[in-house]
Amino acid sequence: MSTEFLSEEGDVCFDQTRRFEILREIFDSLSEHVAVLDRAGCVVDTNLSWQRFAAENSTPDKCRLQGENYIEVCDSSTGVAAKEARQAADGIRGVLSGEIPEFSLEYPCHAPSEKRWFLMTVTPLVSHGSIDGAVVSHMQITARKLAEAALIRYERAIASSSSLVSIIDLDFVYRLVNDSYLRVHGKKRDEIEGRKVAEIVGQDVFDMYVGPKLVRCFAGETVEYEAWFDTNWADRRCYAVTYYPYRERDDSISGAVVTATDITEAKQMQDEIANSARRLSEAQRLAKVGSFEKDYLHGKKNWSDEFCRILGYSPETVDPDFNLFMHHIHPDDEPDFRENFEAAEARGHEFTAELRIRTVQGEERHVSLVCGFDLLEDGSMFRLHGAMADVTERRLAELRLEHLANTDELTGLPNRRHFLECVRAEMVRSRRFGKSLCVAMIDIDDFKKVNDTHGHGVGDLALKHVARTINGLRRAVDVTGRLGGEEFCIMFPEAGLEAGAAAAERVRRGLAEAVLEHEDLRLRLTVSIGLAEYSAGESLDGLLRRSDEALYEAKRTGKNRVCSRAVDSAPV
């Protein structure tokens, strides 16, 4: 009987020992760093994860293992996470005293070579209904924190864009809008995000315009168009709008990204020169936008893929650097850009600029850049972020339209409007600096006979011939324009009546000697010229009237000659 009793007791002891070993193995296999504290906050046990982390991140004499009071360790902590350490100490006290059922805290624990974040949880250790201690665990959450930081960067890049950006889900609900979108609509973020699109734009507009385009976008189509809109903050504005399908990682479409860029000024220019705009009917495309960021505190820099593409780089081959970007700025634009950027950086103010860059391939492009600066509480800079849009097509279109608006299509000379603008500007300069100025009105003699005899095709060739010949005879500072029909005009800056008459005579004689050759035709053309010298205080109309009178006198007295007209005098 005694032997049997001892055998049963031995089996019980064996089972308990094995159970302890199994539980210990489980305890040590946990990836979290786990410590058991007694009621005073002293460490009574730790798992292998805790021991390894302590050994790798502490000196041997400060390795936080059994016997050390963990609450005192947290209270005495210094450094960047001292605030969180004191919060941890208070939380442990609260759990041990029963004041709170549990405690959790997210905190940074950065190493010299990497950034790390942990989630600390404290739960009571209860035995027979009373608290005997606490279990403290630390779980690494670095991946989640880095993902959150990346999300913030992308949101800031979108927010800094001058284009209107919104994300709309498949239920036609706004999920995100940027600052430009809020500013144009005059609403706060919570007045748009989370609401139906029809509530913001109006049911009629949604049913007729927005809704059908969203449906096409949800089906996988990229929708682009230009339209005029009434705004609350200004008159009608024209926007280039693009609906992009928003795709998840599995390539399924979960919504649409809608961007809208204000192109009102370009459209107004097209309206002002409608004839030229019809020849340039290609619509401006939505500018592509790249983002960039520089962390001053940690020395980290980032260029988005699109930013690299605008500069001509493959994203995986470039090391983003401010000096590298400066290297790509056009030499004529670099000094002003550097000065304005450094001034904005010193004040921490938002900075915008339009400039030219040269890509890696040597191509010149026009970009629009906007950037902002994040400041610490003490006013020091810790982050630069912003966006850059490729506006080359828009800028080149503006330059082409400007050229067409100022140029006579047939001869390539300045047209009447542009030429008279040049004369007005020179009149101002003449008054300010006391310089002489003459204007010569030129008319082709017997031009109607050329058209009647040889046809309007030869007439056009004659006009080009006269324009080309005058341009070859004038000084570099002189300006020639075609006023209309067979009438031309030359402005002679810094030339008095005598010098102007000599220059006009040189033009008359050169045209009379030049021969227009076309197929079997050889044609000599002559011109009559009326010259007038500008008098300070005289109007442009008065100056042109006197040159017209002198031209009339040249026609009346036999053509192919130069007549001049002084102020309040008869033609000479």
Integer Cα distance of 301 and 43 in angstroms: 42
Element (H, E) at 307: helix 305-311
Q: Which strands, in side-by-side order, build the sheet including 253-262?
A: 174-177, 164-169, 253-262, 237-247, 223-229
Question: CA–CA separation, 308 vs 289, rounded Å?
Answer: 11
Nearest one of 187, 171, 442 to 179, comparing CA atoms: 187
Orientation of helix 447-454 relative to helix 456-473, angle to 10°: 140
Residue 125 one-letter amino acid: L
* Residues 523 and 544: beta-carbon distance below 8 Å: no
Taking the C-alpha atoms of residue 185 and residue 469, their distance in angstroms, rounded to an integer, is 57
Cα–Cα distance for residue pair 166/135, rounded to 1 Å:
46
In terms of Cβ atoms closer than 10 Å to its own Cβ (0-12, 13-18, 19+), residue 210 is buried
Are the C-beta atoms of 430 and 436 separated by less than 8 Å?
yes
| Residue 289: strand pairing partners | 389
In this structure, which long-range contacts are made by residues 223-227, counting pairs with CB atoms below 8 Å and at least 24 apart in sequence?
224/285, 224/286, 226/263, 226/267, 226/283, 226/284
Whole-angstrom Cα distance, residue 136 to residue 41? Answer: 10
First to last CA, the chain: 154
Q: Which residues pair with 253 in a beta bridge?
A: 247
**Is 118 in contact with 34 (CB distance < 8 Å)?**
no
**Rg for the chain, CA atoms, rounded:** 40
Identify the residue whose tokens are 């002002």: 272
The rounded distance, in Å, linking the Cα atoms of 275 and 405 is 9
- Alpha-carbon torsion, ordered 100, 104, 110, 115, to 10 deg: -170
**Contact present, 462 and 516 (Cβ < 8 Å):** yes
Residue 414 contacts residue 479 (beta carbons within 8 Å): yes
Could you give the residue numbers annotated as active site? 486
